[in-house]
Amino acid sequence: MRHRNTILASILKAVPRRRFEGFVERHGGDRYVKRLRTWDQFVALSHAQLSNCGSLRAVETGWNANAHHHYHLGAGPVRRSTLADANRQRPSEIFADLFNWLSGLADRRIRREGSEMVRLIDSSPVPVGELFKWARWNGRIKGLKLHVVYDPHGDHPRLAEITPANINDVNVGRDIALEPGAMYVFDKGYSDYHWWNELHGAGCGFVTRPKSNVRFKTVATHCGPFEPGDGCTVLEDSRVVHQTRGHVRLEMELRRIKIRRHKDGREMALITNDLGRTADEIAMLYKTRWQIELLFRWIKQHLKIRSFLGRSENAVRTQILVAMITYLLLRIAAKVHGVDLTPIRFIELVGQSLFERKDITHIDKPPEPLHRPKYTHPNQLAFVYG
């Protein structure tokens, strides 16, 4: 009989074991390990993300109940205490390296040829409870921040970094490897004129909102008439230069675009170094920033980063990284197998059929009926219905 992978094995197939073991060896993940290898830990945590397990006991029970499927996953049974020790002690950098590698793989497999390079940058708080003594307080939440660079056309995160909650967003933005020709879209939390100069010098565009106290001198103004756009109306389109008494100054000519949103009538100003696009196109670029907000909402609603399987900082970081890896694996599997389902419907079906042996392409179809050959003994009379 031809072997057929389970749904979980098909999703994890995008992770080559040799590549994974290279990350483990780089960080010494399996050094002095006797029972639970890092691969076993990763597979168990991925199962926990997809099956919505809320505790280590639930992970142990649900995983070990399907021991007959472990062989083809290259894993074995887990114990709650051993998994807790692994989450606390194994370097989370192993999973950070795996995420970065999978992000490059996803970019090659699910990118759209000919689409422009748009990169959305934002962060989302990951609050933790009072029992997490190591967590930092930033005035609003106590916990961590998840920083993401997102490709809206490929619909996948390209970079994910986890920092304490009191780290400013722009500190992470400065460390991003810039892609010449890309358009970066971010909010006013990334206001750093030195960094904006670096973006412009690297041949990158940016669209953002200025702070209220920034000063600009108008060079030229195009006041319309402007046609109502998709969701907003352009009120003003001006070319400006930055004015400041300090030492930091924007060296390029900018555009300041004022728009009014149709939804609530709110007016807002946008700043960009792109002098070629129309004002409507710039407004639509900033509107795409909402997609990264939807990404954060989807991950928090459908994956496990609100309740945690450990109280140490390393355990929390590992769980968040495995959640981001799981999202990438779902996106890659849906693209490779041509699954024509919404992400919400797809993850629901995956969670309900993790250990079913069927093709992901037909995950929303009922199983095929068994065609057993009819066998009749030569000495047995057959019933015939007329």
Mind listing the pLDDT tens digit for each residue in 317-360?
999 999 999 999 999 999 888 888 888 889 889 988 899 888 88
Query: At residue 101, what are phi and psi to the nearest 5 degrees?
Result: -70, -45
> Over the stretch 271-300, which tens digit does the pLDDT of each residue have?
999 988 888 889 999 999 999 999 999 999
Categorize the per-residue pLDDT at 254 as very low, low, confident or very high, splitting at 50, 70 and 90: very high
Residue 255 lies in a domain: yes
Domain extent at residue 258 = 189-279
Asked whether the predicted pLDDT for residue 107 surpasses 90, the reply is no
What distance in Å separates the CA atoms of residue 20 and residue 17, rounded to the nearest whole number?
5
pLDDT of residue 167: 92
Residue 204 lies in a domain: yes
pLDDT of residue 44: 95
> Is the pLDDT higher at 71 or at 245?
71
Cα-to-chain-centroid distance, residue 79 = 29
pLDDT of residue 64: 93
Residue 128 lies in a domain: no
What distance in Å separates the CA atoms of residue 110 and residue 312, rounded to the nearest whole number?
35
CB 182 within 8 A of CB 119: yes
Residue 58 lies in a domain: no
Describe the crossing of helices 93-110 and 313-336 by its angle, rounded to 10 degrees: 20
CB 49 within 8 A of CB 329: no
What global pTM score does this model have?
0.88
Residue 63 lies in a domain: no
Task: Classify residue 353 by its DSSP letter.
Answer: -
What distance in Å separates the CA atoms of residue 44 and residue 75, rounded to the nearest whole number?
9
CB 157 within 8 A of CB 123: no
Mean pLDDT of the chain: 88
Residue 294 lies in a domain: no
> Over the stretch 169-193, which tens digit does the pLDDT of each residue have?
999 999 999 999 999 999 988 988 8
CB 324 within 8 A of CB 160: yes
Residue 69 has a CB neighbour count (10 Å cut-off) of 18
Average pLDDT score over residue span 231-254: 82
Q: Three-state DSSP class for 145?
A: strand
Residue tagged 């009819």 (tokens): 374
Q: How many domains does the chain have?
A: 1
Categorize the per-residue pLDDT at 263 as very low, low, confident or very high, splitting at 50, 70 and 90: confident
What distance in Å separates the CA atoms of residue 353 and residue 347, rounded to the nearest whole number?
10
Residue 302 lies in a domain: no
> Over the stretch 109-150, which tens digit does the pLDDT of each residue have?
666 655 678 999 999 999 998 889 999 998 888 999 999 999
Asked whether the predicted pLDDT for residue 246 surpasses 80, the reply is no
What distance in Å separates the CA atoms of residue 213 and residue 24, rounded to the nearest whole number?
49
Residue 266 lies in a domain: yes
Strand partners, 143: 127, 136
